[in-house]
């Protein structure tokens, strides 16, 4: 076995590998870019090496820097994780040239299966059924378009190198082929350095099922059952489970054998995954899509139902050990489900068709609580205080639950997600919980388009009133002066505080006045919250239980009795001793929120979290907003950045006449492209960015003046966010 292994990756997978290395008594070496200097994987490793600036091309994708880091620290082997160089045959060869063991398959197997066109030809010759589509490599744009027409639309454009859903485009209309081919090439080139594409027939409402394989260097190839990965958006998986609720034993065994045959056909070694597309009609048909020559993100669900540590077996196989068990020794126990927690903001997209855009988010993790144990597992790269940027993949962690059956596993995962609190950056946790409760998911009636169809119904229309109420009461409590020290106050009344100094709305001889709080949650309209003490209950026999109650009205709704609870140590309204919880009684119902203060310059606020959901509530000054709008907002003419990122393509210039819906710019963040389109037909009057510009969320990118407007004059009040 190796004494030292360098982990050539970052985030949760680097932490995952490091922990198995520790359990095996193997010394670990982490690598990090400038953006990750304080990351969890750096803290967890035995030693670490800086490999370059934040840009992945100059750090995590620089094979020579990684090899030199391994040699400098005395590592004998390199574990690539997934993403970056994990499926790069050149990196595997460079490791071998340097005398390092690459913990993965041979370079030849990586290159063969990494080229989806040659992979399909190879497995077809081994008797494995493949999806109909284009054959051959190096196709021009016109040849791709011809192949699409010959295959029959709709078709899926896929990069011939790489995976993970990057660069994949579903094309239903022939008129969209040229633009989608260009976009797919850009994404493929950016993600994999290779813009080669292939065409596959699109199967409506398919299921995505993959088989985990293990192959040693002594001729033994085993399959470890399947994983259902049909819950996807943008062709990227967000929930995976094992085993699949679709397959019967006969189909499971047939697909397992096909996967083993595919692995043998390329001389595979190590842990790998063979992916199939399966019709949801129960026909038993299946077709090979691709082979991922690495560890998969969703490998924990297989580990939980087989009891095998796949990272450990990657290491043992790379060290030359044979697999000591046979196919008949593999048993599947219970059910496991995994959800990917990503840094992203879900927003309803404008347009006639209901749609939700999942846009990358960024921020600093102010509070972190992650469940572990009792059937729940969290693989995470997070730590409080770390900054989440847009340079890398948006996945932050994976929450996994095991149960004796599928229903128990689903309940366990929803519970584990409810116990996952990440404040300081927007995540998809609340969306995942709603998805897992969807009737089709509960019944196992899945397909790869389900998430996109269901997303508009899973996104809440508004923020719950009690969130605004809690934020207003916390602000109200903060306005109160600190109680005087013992013996202070006035000579006549030690410890006395003037009622006029307390934000209670107290008035001499009249009812209390309302204290008004203007609040706003990003993506929502501003809300007015009014707060005042409930009428004096001193004559009420039950007065003691009503002391401290306030009346709270949210946006003109009837007032609700509410109060902040006690932390058990301090006064009512105080947070918990560690400052992370706020207890709220709202119309007789108790709520507990996690809380964290956001100290962004010029825009402070409070984060409140409950059951996995989180809201950033900020103060809103309506007068200032109106003045800024009147002072020069471009209104509906303005196109703003839907998320922080980098402008990669500019398709227009000042003075251009454009049509409604015409593509003007492309903004990229976290390996995803977002097309910015014209909100109406008109003239480009301003263009604030160029290709390569770094932009922040809501930054003005361009101004399109509609036809018929006075030159230089705004067409409408307000600002429209760019459609992405």
Which range (304-318, 501-515, 664-678) has the least confidence? 501-515
Find, among 133, 112, 134, 111, the residue nearest to 123 by Cα: 112
Evaluated on CA atoms 381, 387, 390, 392, the torsion sign reads negative
Residue predicted with more confidence, 545 or 613: 613
pLDDT band at 6 (very low <50, low <70, confident <90, very high): very high
Q: What is the pLDDT of residue 353?
A: 75
Which fold is adopted by the domain 634-706? OB fold (Dihydrolipoamide Acetyltransferase, E2P) (2.40.50)
Whether the model clears a pTM of 0.95, i.e. scores above it, the answer is no
Q: Residue 490: its pLDDT value, please?
A: 54
- Which residues have C-beta within 8 Å of that of residue 715, sequence separation ≥ 6? 635, 636, 637, 705, 706, 709
CA distances in angstroms from 582 to 425, 473, 504, listed in the order given: 19, 10, 20
The confidence score (pLDDT) of residue 721 equals 33
In this predicted structure, what is the pLDDT of residue 507?
66
β-bridge pairing 700-706 and 638-640: antiparallel
Q: pLDDT for 309-357, tens place per residue?
A: 999 999 999 999 999 999 999 999 999 999 999 999 988 876 667 788 8
Q: Which CATH class is domain 465-480+514-537+548-620?
A: alpha beta
Structure tokens at 303: 């580990």
Residues 428-454: tens digit of each pLDDT: 999 999 999 999 999 999 999 999 999
Cα–Cα dist 640/55, whole Å? 24
Fold adopted by 4-103? Rossmann fold (3.40.50)
- pLDDT band at 488; cut points 50, 70, 90: low
Structure tokens at 64: 């020579």
Give pLDDT tens digits for 32-78: 999 999 999 999 999 999 999 999 999 999 999 999 999 999 999 99
Give the number of C-alpha atoms closer than 13 A to the C-alpha of residue 361, restricted to the C-beta side. Answer: 23
* DSSP, residue by residue, 458-480: HS-SS--HHHHHHHHHHHHHHHS
Tokens of 639: 């196109």
Percent of the chain past pLDDT 70, that is, above it, reads: 86
Give the start-to-end residue ranges of the domains of the chain.
4-103, 465-480+514-537+548-620, 634-706
Record the tokens describing residue 223, joined without a space. 């399959």
Please give the average per-residue pLDDT across 465-474, as a whole number.
96
Q: Band of the pLDDT at 497, cuts 50, 70, 90?
A: low
pLDDT score recorded for residue 724: 31
d(CA 562, CA 494): 30
């Amino acid at each position: 076995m190796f004494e030292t292994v360098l982990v050539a990756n970052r985030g949760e997978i680097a932490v995952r590998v490091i922990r198995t290395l520790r359990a095996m008594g193997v010394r670990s070496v982490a690598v990090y870019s400038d953006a990750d200097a304080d990351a969890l994987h750096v803290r967890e490793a035995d030693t670490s090496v800086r490999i370059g600036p934040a840009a992945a091309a100059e750090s995590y994708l620089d094979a020579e820097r990684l090899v030199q880091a391994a040699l400098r620290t005395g590592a004998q082997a390199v574990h690539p994780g997934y993403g970056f160089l994990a499926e790069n045959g050149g990196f595997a060869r460079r490791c071998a040239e340097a005398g390092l063991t690459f913990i993965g398959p041979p370079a030849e197997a990586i290159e063969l299966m990494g080229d989806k066109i040659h992979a399909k030809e190879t497995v077809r010759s081994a008797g494995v059924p493949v999806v109909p589509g284009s054959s051959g490599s190096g196709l021009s744009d016109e040849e791709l378009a011809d192949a699409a027409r010959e295959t029959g639309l709709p078709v899926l454009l896929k990069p011939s190198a790489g995976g993970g859903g990057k660069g994949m485009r579903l094309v239903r209309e022939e008129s969209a082929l040229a633009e989608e081919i260009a976009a797919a090439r850009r994404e493929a080139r950016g993600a994999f350095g290779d813009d080669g594409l292939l065409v596959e027939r699109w199967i409506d409402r398919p299921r995505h099922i993959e088989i985990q394989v293990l192959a040693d260097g002594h001729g033994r190839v085993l399959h470890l059952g399947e994983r259902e990965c049909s819950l996807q958006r943008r062709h990227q998986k967000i929930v995976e489970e094992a085993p699949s609720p679709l397959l019967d034993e006969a189909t499971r065994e047939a697909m397992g054998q096909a996967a083993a045959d595919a692995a043998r056909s390329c001389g595979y070694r190590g842990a790998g995954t063979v992916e199939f597309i399966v019709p949801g009609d129960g026909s038993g048909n299946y077709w090979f899509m691709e082979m991922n020559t690495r560890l998969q993100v969703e490998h924990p669900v297989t580990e939980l139902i087989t009891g095998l540590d796949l990272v450990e077996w990657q290491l043992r196989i790379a060290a030359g050990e044979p697999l000591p068990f046979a196919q008949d020794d593999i048993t599947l126990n219970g059910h496991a489900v995994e959800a990917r927690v990503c840094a992203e903001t879900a927003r309803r997209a404008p347009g006639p068709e209901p749609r939700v855009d999942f846009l990358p988010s960024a921020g600093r993790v102010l509070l972190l609580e992650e469940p572990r144990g009792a059937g729940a597992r969290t693989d995470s790269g997070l730590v409080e205080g770390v900054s989440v940027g847009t340079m890398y993949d948006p996945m932050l962690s994976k929450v996994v639950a095991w149960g004796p059956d599928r229903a128990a596993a689903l309940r366990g995962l929803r519970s584990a997600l409810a116990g996952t609190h990440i404040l300081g950056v927007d995540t998809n946790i609340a969306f995942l919980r709603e998805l897992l409760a969807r009737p089709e998911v509960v019944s196992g009636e899945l397909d790869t388009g389900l998430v996109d169809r269901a997303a508009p119904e899973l996104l809440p229309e508004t923020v719950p009133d009690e969130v605004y109420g809690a934020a207003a009461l916390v602000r109200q409590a903060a306005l109160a002066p600190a109680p005087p020290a013992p013996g202070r106050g006035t000579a006549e009344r030690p410890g006395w505080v003037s009622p006029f100094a307390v934000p209670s709305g107290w008035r001499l001889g009249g009812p209390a006045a309302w204290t008004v709080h203007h609040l706003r949650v990003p993506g929502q309209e501003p809300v007015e919250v009014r707060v005042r003490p409930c009428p004096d209950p001193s004559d009420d026999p039950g007065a003691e239980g009503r002391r401290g109650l306030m009346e709270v009205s949210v946006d003109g709704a009837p007032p609700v009795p509410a109060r902040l609870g006690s932390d058990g140590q301090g006064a009512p309204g105080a947070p918990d001793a560690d400052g992370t919880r706020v207890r709220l009684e709202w119309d007789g119902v108790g709520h507990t929120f996690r809380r964290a203060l956001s100290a962004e310059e010029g825009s402070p606020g409070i984060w409140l979290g409950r059951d996995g959901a989180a809201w950033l509530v900020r103060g809103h000054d309506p007068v200032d907003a109106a003045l800024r709008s009147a002072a020069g907002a471009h209104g509906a003419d303005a196109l703003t950045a839907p998320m922080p990122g980098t402008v990669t393509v500019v398709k227009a210039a000042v003075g251009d006449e454009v049509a409604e819906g015409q593509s003007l710019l492309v903004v990229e963040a976290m390996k995803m492209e977002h097309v910015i389109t014209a909100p109406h037909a008109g003239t480009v009057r301003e263009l604030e960015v160029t290709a390569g510009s770094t932009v922040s969320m809501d930054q003005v990118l361009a101004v399109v003046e509609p036809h018929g407007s006075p030159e230089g004059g705004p067409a409408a009040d307000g600002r429209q966010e760019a459609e992405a």
